[in-house]
């Protein structure tokens, strides 16, 4: 395509002289741009100050949100079409990617840089303190706990999700109820972490006395054991009880993807191995695992990234008490409760540094896939 | 023949194991579901499994001990002796169980075991949660006033108002961008695309503080537009990546001829690309929708506490925090918040799964 454009260029300039940019086109495009800003600004103010009935507001807001974006693209491309060909061809791609780049730049890339900058300042972001926030984080007891717990989450959670996912995918592949089973395991993916927190609070519920309404304690007392306050008393094991929630929610994700990958293993290879007398276990480790290794890598990466950012489960279940703090909850606490902006930013950056290797692996994988 | 039989046998084992795993997976949700229909008092007193038929001791006749019996020593009842502690906890005697009914009055209850169910189920919890529960507030002068808490229905509409545009906007923006990245050539294309891909794994915590500052300055905090933009930015990398994978696989000659016929890129995009991408749009759309619907952190930070804008996840988290013992409210509230995702999940499962795999299985 690059070559194509280069070949065309002299053609354009050669046969027809570059068309002049008309004043009308410039005015139109400025007008369109301004109109977009003003109209959407006005609508925004209308919603901010509106006291309409919630249902009506909801309908109108949804209409604005959905049609608004489309209209912005529509009007901008229309404005560009007022220009001569060579300009249009150059500008149009930027109109197509423009909103994406602007939004990402404003709300993700620049903020990341600003957070990095803030992490070198003190609590009120007024005094430059160098690396002392970073030093403080690693000597702070709470932070050490948070980092330890995050590591636990990442290792235990990811390992369990991947292993269970693989196991269930294999089992489902051989069972007669594949679809139902997969739906059931996958279902928690659709449930919010907050709701999942409620669900599991009910499982772990503890009250002193005989009658237990929490499932786990009821089972423990049924077999003659002592009921426990699973999420608050048993430190540091309580973290594992929280991680179980993640496993419950994420195994379905791993399973679905592994299941698809396993179905991609060619049948004739499997048949050949069976004819040669390989057992199912040998086939699994000798053929299937190597065949789907790249899928295992992607799933593992995804779950690691996801687990590093874990926030909701801890927040809902324990609020970070009883030594269950993770980096994300600490971040929230530092920033919104203690108003320590420097510390909060540093935590976010530590989290970013933790995912950096994952970014690199992902990019390399992407290039291998022939993305670019 | 032997081989076939063996496989059939192992299939039963596989089915059994899988069935067991599925049972464990369903159990927590099932518990919540049943609990949400139980009267408030029942939830706090007995486990939800008591709804099913189960064996339970029920009170039978009462024995009166004479005044001479020393309660600290061995106590003789119906010809057998028991200790005080045994009678406190309940002790088996033949088919029945002996337990103190009232130790001071010296009465012992002879309980019989029988099958029981507690099937009183009610919709009260749902009604309470949707319309807002009434709380008794004690005033300083001792009088009591009733105050109505806000219901979940407002939060439901808020969530919907946030989730629908926060799904459509990123999907549309990402599709335009993906089309440009896949089929238009312009300087900076590769660099920009790689940057967007790298954004896939950036933890959003990194962006929260500065974005919040900007929002406060611009008055976007707590507004629909603000939260749409935030969700758009945080979802864009994945959606762009996914849409790029799909759009770049479309056959080239399909729209090349349209272009030669004089169609503009915008026309090609909206008349050809979008209709052709419906399966991809649906799958990634569902994914983004569920993500926004279930989100807690982003809403917590950019929405604020006014009930008029709160979303459901915040509402429920609040309930957990402030009224941890109002289980009846919590269970039904959690279930209401799950209705939409679960409905979408079961109706559109096929697309949802495809949306998940788009970014992962390739290669």
What φ, ψ does residue A214 adopt, rounded to 5°?
Answer: -85, 135
Say if B304 is an interface residue toward chain A (CB within 8 Å): no
CB contact under 8 A, B317 and A316: yes
Shortest alpha-carbon distance between residue B64 and chain A (Å) = 26
Q: Could you give the count of Cα atoms lying within 13 Å of B100 in the half-sphere of its Cβ?
A: 15
Q: Could you give the count of Cα atoms lying within 13 Å of A158 in the half-sphere of its Cβ?
A: 21
Residues A260 and B360 sit within 8 Å (Cβ to Cβ)? no
Residues B309 and B157 sit within 8 Å (Cβ to Cβ)? no
Q: Could you give the count of Cα atoms lying within 13 Å of B158 in the half-sphere of its Cβ?
A: 26
The three-state secondary structure class of A121 is: strand
Q: B11 to chain A: which residues are within 8 Å by CB?
A: 174-176
d(CA A195, CA A215): 17
Residues B204 and A328 sit within 8 Å (Cβ to Cβ)? no
Tell me, rounded to whole angstroms, the distance of Cα A83 from its chain centroid.
40
Q: B200 to chain A: which residues are within 8 Å by CB?
A: 359, 362
Residues B222 and B311 sit within 8 Å (Cβ to Cβ)? no
Shortest alpha-carbon distance between residue B226 and chain A (Å) = 10
Degrees to nearest 5, angle at CA A185 with A183 and A187: 60
Q: In sequence order, which ranges of A105-237 are alpha helices (DSSP H)?
A: 110-118, 132-139, 141-152, 158-174, 178-186, 193-204, 215-222
The pLDDT score that the predictor gives to residue B150 is 61
- Please write the tens of the pLDDT for every residue from A76-92: 888 888 888 788 888 88
CB contact under 8 A, B341 and A2: no
pTM of the complete model: 0.82
d(CA B336, CA B36): 10
Task: Calculate the CA dihedral of residues B275, B277, B279, B281 and round it to 10 degrees.
Answer: -100
Average pLDDT, chain A: 80
The pLDDT score that the predictor gives to residue B45 is 72
Helix (H) or strand (E) run with residue A19 in it = none
Q: Say which residue, A223 or A243, is predicted with more confidence.
A: A243
CB-closest option in A186, A213, A328 to B44: A213
d(CA B325, CA B312): 19
Helix (H) or strand (E) run with residue B63 in it = strand B54-64
Mean pLDDT of A31-44: 83
Q: Where are the beta strands (DSSP E) in chain A?
A: none
End-to-end CA distance of chain B: 39
CB contact under 8 A, A171 and B46: no
The pLDDT score that the predictor gives to residue A12 is 43
The pLDDT score that the predictor gives to residue B143 is 64
Minimum mean pLDDT range among A255-264, B112-121, B142-151, B244-253: B142-151
d(CA A363, CA B199): 10
- Please write the tens of the pLDDT for every residue from B46-55: 777 776 766 6
Give the closest residue to A349 by CA, choosing from A154, A155, A131: A131
- Please write the tens of the pLDDT for every residue from A246-270: 999 889 888 888 888 888 888 888 8
CB contact under 8 A, B185 and A195: no
Q: A256 to chain B: which residues are within 8 Å by CB?
A: 353, 356-357
Say if B49 is an interface residue toward chain A (CB within 8 Å): yes
Position B129 pLDDT exceeds 70: yes
Q: Which are the contacts of A124, defined by CB distance < 8 A and separation ≥ 6? A: A339, A341
Q: pLDDT band at residue B8, thresholds of 50, 70 and 90?
A: low
Q: B237 to chain A: which residues are within 8 Å by CB?
A: 104, 108
Please state, for a pLDDT cut of 90, what percent of chain B lies above it: 5
Shortest alpha-carbon distance between residue B166 and chain A (Å) = 8
Q: A231 to chain B: which residues are within 8 Å by CB?
A: none
Say if B321 is an interface residue toward chain A (CB within 8 Å): yes
Q: B265 to chain A: which residues are within 8 Å by CB?
A: 77, 92, 96
Residues B255 and B211 sit within 8 Å (Cβ to Cβ)? no
Prediction ipTM score: 0.82
Task: Calculate the CA dihedral of residues A258, A158, A286, A274 and round it to 10 degrees.
Answer: -40
d(CA A147, CA B247): 41
Tokens of B157: 């509409």
Say if B151 is an interface residue toward chain A (CB within 8 Å): no
The pLDDT score that the predictor gives to residue A3 is 41
Q: List the beta bridge partners of residue B147.
A: B135
Tell me, rounded to whole angstroms, the distance of Cα B198 from its chain centroid.
30
What DSSP string describes B90-134?
A: -EEETTEEEEEEETTTTEEEEEEEEEE------SHHHHHHHH--E
- Please write the tens of the pLDDT for every residue from A2-27: 444 444 444 444 445 566 777 787 88
How many CB pairs below 8 A link A and B?
351
Task: Calculate the CA dihedral of residues A92, A96, A99, A100 and round it to 10 degrees.
Answer: -140
Give the closest residue to B22 by CA, choosing from A25, A172, A332: A172
Residues B167 and B232 sit within 8 Å (Cβ to Cβ)? no
Kindly tell me the sign of the dihedral angle through the C-alpha atoms of A101, A104, A106, A108.
Answer: negative
- Please write the tens of the pLDDT for every residue from A266-297: 888 888 888 887 777 888 888 888 888 878 88
Q: Say which residue, A154 or A237, is predicted with more confidence.
A: A154
Q: Say which residue, A345 or A132, is predicted with more confidence.
A: A345
Q: Could you give the count of Cα atoms lying within 13 Å of A309 in the half-sphere of its Cβ?
A: 21
Tokens of B32: 């919540």
Query: How does DSSP classify residue A21?
Result: P
Tokens of A371: 């993305």
Cis-peptide, bond into residue A367, ω within 30° of zero: no
Return the residue in B33, B210, B288, B362 with the most chain A beta carbons within 10 A, the one to mutate for interface testing.
B210
Which residues in chain B (241-280) have CB-CB distances under 8 A to chain A?
264-266, 269
């Amino acid at each position: 395509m690059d070559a194509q454009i280069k070949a065309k260029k002299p053609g354009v300039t050669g046969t027809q002289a570059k068309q002049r940019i008309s004043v009308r086109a410039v005015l139109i495009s400025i007008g369109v741009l301004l109109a977009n800003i003003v109209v959407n600004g006005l609508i925004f103010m209308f919603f901010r100050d509106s006291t309409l009935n919630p249902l009506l507001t909801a309908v109108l807001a949804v209409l604005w949100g959905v049609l608004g974006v489309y209209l912005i693209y529509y009007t901008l491309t229309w404005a560009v079409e007022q220009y001569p060909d060579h300009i249009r061809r150059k500008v149009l791609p930027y109109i197509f990617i423009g909103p994406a780049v602007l939004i990402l730049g404003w709300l993700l890339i620049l903020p990341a840089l600003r957070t990095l900058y803030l992490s070198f300042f003190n609590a009120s972001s007024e005094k430059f303190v160098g690396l002392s926030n970073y030093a403080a984080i690693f000597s702070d007891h709470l932070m050490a706990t948070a980092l330890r717990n995050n590591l636990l989450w990442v290792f235990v959670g990811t390992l369990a999700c991947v292993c269970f996912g693989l196991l269930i995918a294999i089992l489902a592949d051989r069972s007669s109820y594949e679809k139902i089973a997969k739906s059931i395991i996958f279902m928690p993916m659709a449930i919010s972490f907050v709701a999942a927190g409620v669900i599991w609070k009910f499982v772990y519920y503890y009250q002193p006395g005989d009658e237990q309404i929490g499932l786990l304690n009821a089972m423990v007392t049924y077999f003659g054991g002592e009921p426990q306050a699973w999420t608050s008393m048993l430190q540091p094991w309580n973290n594992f009880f929280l991680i179980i929630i993640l496993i419950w929610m994420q195994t379905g994700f791993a399973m679905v993807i592994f299941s698809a990958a396993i179905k991609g293993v060619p049948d004739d290879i499997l048949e050949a191995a069976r004819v040669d007398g390989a057992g199912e276990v040998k086939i699994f480790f000798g053929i299937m695992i190597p065949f789907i290794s790249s899928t295992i890598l992607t799933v593992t990466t995804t779950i690691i990234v996801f687990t590093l950012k874990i926030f909701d489960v801890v927040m809902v279940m324990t609020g970070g008490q009883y030594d269950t703090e993770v980096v994300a909850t600490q971040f929230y606490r530092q920033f919104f409760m203690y108003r320590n902006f420097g510390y909060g930013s540093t935590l976010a950056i530590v989290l970013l540094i933790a995912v950096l290797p994952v970014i690199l692996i992902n990019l390399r994988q992407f290039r291998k896939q022939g993305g670019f | 023949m032997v081989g076939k039989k063996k496989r059939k046998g192992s299939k039963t084992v596989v089915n059994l194991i899988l069935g067991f795993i599925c049972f464990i997976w369903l159990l927590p949700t099932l518990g919540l579901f049943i609990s949400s229909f139980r009267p408030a008092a029942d939830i706090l007193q007995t486990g939800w499994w008591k709804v099913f038929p189960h064996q339970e001791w029920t009170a039978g006749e009462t024995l009166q001990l004479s005044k001479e019996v020393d309660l600290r020593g061995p106590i003789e009842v119906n010809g057998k002796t028991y200790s005080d502690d045994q009678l406190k906890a309940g002790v088996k005697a033949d088919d029945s169980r002996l337990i103190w009914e009232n130790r001071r009055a010296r009465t012992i209850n002879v309980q019989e075991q029988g099958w029981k169910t507690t099937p009183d189920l009610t919709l009260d919890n749902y009604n309470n949660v949707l319309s807002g529960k009434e709380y008794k507030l004690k005033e300083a002068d001792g009088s009591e006033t009733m105050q109505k808490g806000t219901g979940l229905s407002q939060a439901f509409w808020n969530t919907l108002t946030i989730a629908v545009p926060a799904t459509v906007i990123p999907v549309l923006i990402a599709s335009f961008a993906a089309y440009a990245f896949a089929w238009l050539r312009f300087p900076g294309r590769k660099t920009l695309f790689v940057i967007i891909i790298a954004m896939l794994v950036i933890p959003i915590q990194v962006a929260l503080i500065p974005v919040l500052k900007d929002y406060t300055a611009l008055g976007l905090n707590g507004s629909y537009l603000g939260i749409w933009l935030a969700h758009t930015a945080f979802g864009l990398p994945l959606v762009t990546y996914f849409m790029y994978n799909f759009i770049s696989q479309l056959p080239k000659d399909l729209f090349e001829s349209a272009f030669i016929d004089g169609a503009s890129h915008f026309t090609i995009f909206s008349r050809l690309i979008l209709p052709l991408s419906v399966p991809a749009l649906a799958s990634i759309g569902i994914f983004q929708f569920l993500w926004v619907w279930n989100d807690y952190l982003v809403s917590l930070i950019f929405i604020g506490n006014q009930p008029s804008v709160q979303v459901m996840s915040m509402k429920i988290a609040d309930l957990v925090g402030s009224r941890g013992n109002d289980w009846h409210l919590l269970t039904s509230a959690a279930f209401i918040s799950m209705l939409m995702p679960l409905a979408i999940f079961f109706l559109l499962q096929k697309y949802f799964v495809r949306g998940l795999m788009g970014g992962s299985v390739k290669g």
